[in-house]
Amino acid sequence: MESSNDTYTITHWLDQLNASTSASEFHGLLTGLIITQGNKAAVQWQPYITPDLNPGDLVREEAVDNLNIVFESLIEELNDPMLSFSPLMPEEGDASIEQRIEAISEWTQGLLLGLSHGNLAVEKLSAESGEFLDDLLEISRANTFVPDSNEEINDRSLTEIGEYLRAGALTLLDELHPLPLFSVADDTPTLH
């Protein structure tokens, strides 16, 4: 079985729910909710993705269960002392430059949505985090950017943007939750 944080696997589970969100946007949404709400986000993401889930719909319930695994895995990544967290985007060889730019835009839009729905207290953030939020607005419009004709420059730029998003998300998490979050599965503390 593929990793629970694999773009194609998450897309499959979202499709089972008839969700209109991409895997990257969903991952960004979860990240934003976790940053603002910690473990409480476990019950907050579902209404955004599947507001009409009927009990007894086994296919859709299985998809929700699998997406909960993604949530738990994301908490572990965000708390990993080795900083294994990274925004979910297609790999260089798996998607065109346009698809990768779109994924960055979608992940950032999801992050902004999660931060917003998680009631981010912007006034309590450091100047650095405030600047990061301003940058998120610009990056969320990345799907309007025209790629450079040089693929190497594009790849390097996307890698740098991805790293900036990763570092910014971890900085926000650290500001809002200086103590480690707990795993949903076992309630044992993990470091971030």
pLDDT, residue 182, reads: 56
DSSP the chain: ---TT-HHHHHHHHHHTT--S-HHHHHHHHHHHHHHHGGGGGGTSHHHH-TTPPTT-HHHHHHHHHHHHHHHHHHHHHH-TT---------GGGS-HHHHHHHHHHHHHHHHHHHHHTT--GGGS-HHHHHHHHHHHHHTTGGGPPPPS-HHHHHHHHHHHHHHHHHHHHHHHHHH--SPPBPTTT--B---
Query: 142: pLDDT confidence band, cut at 50, 70 and 90?
Result: confident
Share of the chain above pLDDT 70, in %: 90
Query: 2: pLDDT confidence band, cut at 50, 70 and 90?
Result: very low
What tens digit of pLDDT does each residue of 86-134 get? 999 887 778 888 889 999 999 999 999 999 988 888 888 999 999 999 9
The model's pTM = 0.86
Evaluate if residue 188 carries a pLDDT over 50.
no
Domain 7-176 has CATH 3.40.50.920: no
